[in-house]
């Protein structure tokens, strides 16, 4: 059974760094892109970018390029979303999702990680 | 590629047939998916490549369309279908989502 499990909620101050995780199981982690999607409070879905665990290749939405870093650790079947200096506007729920073969749609999603940035 | 969903809000009753439209600013070559999101939950894939039902999704959901205009239809609304629905294009980076359609109980 495919499962995608994200790390827990975080409360941070502006300027702090943060890394959240997304751990997959039930399939060959190396073979599927992992995407990250932001949902700001009460708003819609925004694709941030994606990472390919097989070779750590990445694709970024220009709106998020330089603001976040995507990475993976194949040894623990995990993908990561990282900020070096958080802003209040980074407050949102962040989802990771597996991209399926062929259709490229996002077939399995994590439960979401709420990140709150407040002084 | 910009995606525009209509309507943004829809008030319907159990048993109704409802249709949500997603218009793309460019041809998506049918790389168009539909997702359902309930409050406090992650999105769930319903339809991919415009018209293929994801496994486990009830057959009352269907997708159609091609090129730049797509529809999601629910043939007979059930209580569990009241949620927000998003379309997504996957033909070009950056992938984009429609703004969402919230389906409410009348």
Prior bond of B7 cis (ω within 30°): yes
**pLDDT score, position A101:** 87
Contact at 8 Å (CB) between A116 and A12?
yes
Residue B102 has pLDDT above 90, yes or no: yes
Q: Which residue is closest to B39 within chain A, CA to CA? A: A42
Question: How many other CB atoms sit within 10 Å of the CB of residue A80?
Answer: 20
User: pLDDT, tens digit, for every residue of B15-70?
Assistant: 999 999 999 999 999 999 999 999 999 999 999 999 999 999 999 999 999 999 99
pLDDT at residue A54, as a whole number: 95
In this prediction, residue A79 carries a pLDDT of 98
Least confident piece of the model among A101-105, B4-8, B70-74: A101-105
Which residues of A are less than 8 Å from B37 in CB distance?
45
Q: What residues of chain B, 49 to 68, have a C-beta less than 8 Å from chain A?
A: 49, 52, 54
Q: For chain B, report the end-to-end CA distance as a whole number of angstroms.
A: 33
Whole-number pLDDT of residue A89: 98
* Residues in A touching B87 (Cβ below 8 Å): none
Averaged in consecutive runs of 10 residues, what is the pLDDT profile of chain A (119 residues)? 98 98 97 98 98 97 98 97 98 98 94 98
Burial class (CB in 10 A: 0-12, 13-18, 19+), A97: buried
Give the residue from chain B lying closest to A110, CA to CA.
Answer: B42
User: Considering only CB atoms, which chain A residues are within 8 Å of B28?
Assistant: none
The answer to whether the Cα torsion of A91, A92, A97, A99 is positive or negative is negative
* Closest chain B CA to residue A113: B42
A82: phi then psi, degrees, rounded to nearest 5: -130, 140
Spatial neighbors of B56 by CB under 8 A, at least 6 apart, are: none
Q: Summarize the confidence of residues B8-17 as an average pLDDT.
A: 96
């Amino acid at each position: 059974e495919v499962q995608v499990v994200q790390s827990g909620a975080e409360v941070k101050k502006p300027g702090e760094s943060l890394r959240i995780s997304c751990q997959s199981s039930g399939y060959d982690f190396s073979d599927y892109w992992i995407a990250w999607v932001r949902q700001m409070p009460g708003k819609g879905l925004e694709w941030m970018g994606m990472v390919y665990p097989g070779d750590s290749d990445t694709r970024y939405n220009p709106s998020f390029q330089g603001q976040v870093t995507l990475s993976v650790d194949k040894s623990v079947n995990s993908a990561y979303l990282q900020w070096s200096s958080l802003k209040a506007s980074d407050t949102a729920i962040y989802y990771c999702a597996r991209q399926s073969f062929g259709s490229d749609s996002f077939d399995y999603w994590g439960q979401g990680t709420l990140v709150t940035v407040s002084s | 590629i910009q995606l525009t969903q209509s309507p943004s809000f829809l008030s319907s009753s159990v048993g109704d047939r409802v249709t949500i439209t997603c218009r793309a600013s460019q041809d998506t070559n049918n790389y168009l998916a539909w997702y359902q999101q309930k409050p406090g939950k992650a999105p769930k894939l319903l339809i991919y490549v415009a018209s293929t039902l994801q496994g486990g999704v009830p057959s009352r959901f269907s997708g159609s369309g091609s090129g730049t205009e797509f529809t999601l239809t629910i043939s007979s609304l059930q209580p569990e279908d009241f949620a927000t629905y998003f379309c997504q294009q996957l033909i070009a980076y950056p992938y984009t989502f429609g703004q969402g359609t919230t389906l409410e109980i009348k």
